[in-house]
Structure 1
């Protein structure tokens, strides 16, 4: 009759080795984790402020804000929010004293865009990138009748500013019948000009409020079609 003692001894040795193997595996896992840059520490780590989350949505049923006295009209203006420009309903006072319709509408809307958002708009994450000193003028000599010229070169506008202006103008009398906006910078630049004392007007471009312009702040650099 064979003795079963050796089998019992082997089983017992195997049972003893299992905890050792488990501990070794855990130690190896800890080493690999440390090698991947994950390190346990008892010292509090300041990772900075948590990323802010904005809704880009105004409270339902709120009344549109006024931007002045007089004949205020309900309009939709575009403000910067998060990584895009989004529409906000407002009531805008359109200026008087101009024979054409396009220019006073463009000026009234630009006035609205230059103003800081109200408390509700700000709480929802809306901002404006349009400079407070920016102005809009009618066409220069030789320009199409529908052209608008800003007081600053388009390339010098802050990110989002051009998208705010184009998209705000697109659905109004400031745009053409095809909802495109013909716009350029100053007609002349007196400062820093050549020997003649002035330089050529910034070329006009035709803009559309497309997805790229609404969602990419850097799209303004290459947006528009030269006339």
Structure 2
């Protein structure tokens, strides 16, 4: 039986070749040049979504200033990427925190690099956001945004909270006190694993500050 199968396969192959040759002859007789069916569909995509290879990172321009991490959006989650902020040497500590926070906001609102864009990274943080330090009566680690935190898109707020909480702009406990420019209540926000995995689901968890 195996010999019969092999012979049958070989016979079918001969018939296919003969038919192909006959078709080529007919096309040539009609003045049409026969071509082979293409089998090369091009290389596989070189960029895995939400992953930057060592080569990809190396090709990006090396930033100047103090290296920092910010959180961008990719495939519905927060993903850490490298950025830098400029802070003058000798800046007083309170002002240094605010300048770092402003640099982080600017980095979050900026366009992802070409490599990051190709890998699917994006940001929901609007351009033009500014930040100031505490007003009288605020905890010393307060940061006040030009737009009230609770009016921002949930994923944008998650980006800001996780970026601030992971930086020298926040306190030492991995949380950040945020408010707007008006006297509304301040809230202390945390960046949790749930916030990182689903930033748009419910927003980062928070608790009231100063009895609010």
Q: Distance in 1 between matches of 2:62 and 2:133?
A: 25
Q: Distance in 1 between matches of 2:87 and 2:103?
A: 5
Aligned partner of 1:204 among 163, 177, 186: 186
Q: Distance in 1 between matches of 2:88 and 2:144?
A: 18
Q: Distance in 2 between matches of 1:156 and 1:54?
A: 34
Q: Distance in 1 between matches of 2:49 and 2:192?
A: 22
1:102 equivalent to 2:85? Answer: no
Q: Distance in 2 between matches of 1:169 and 1:65?
A: 24
Aligned to 1:21: none
- For normalisation by structure 1, the TM-score amounts to 0.63
Any gaps of 5 or more consecutive residues in structure 1? 1-52, 189-200
* TM alignment of 1:7-156, pairs within 5 A: 55-61=49-55, 62-63=57-58, 65=61, 72-94=65-87, 99=92, 100=94, 101-156=96-151
| Counterpart secondary structure, 2:154 | coil
Aligned to 1:225: 207
Task: Report the structure number with the largest CA radius of gyration.
Answer: 1
> What root-mean-square deviation, in Å, do the aligned CA atoms of Structure 1 and Structure 2 show?
2.3
- For normalisation by structure 2, the TM-score amounts to 0.67
Q: How far does residue 135 in structure 1 lie from its aligned partner after superposition?
A: 0.9
Normalized per residue, the structure richer in helix is 2
How many residues align? The count is 158
Q: How far does residue 182 in structure 1 lie from its aligned partner after superposition?
A: 1.0
1:185 equivalent to 2:180? Answer: yes
Aligned to 2:167: 172
Q: Is the 8 A contact 2:66 2:85 kept in 1?
A: yes
Q: Is the 8 A contact 2:105 2:130 kept in 1?
A: yes
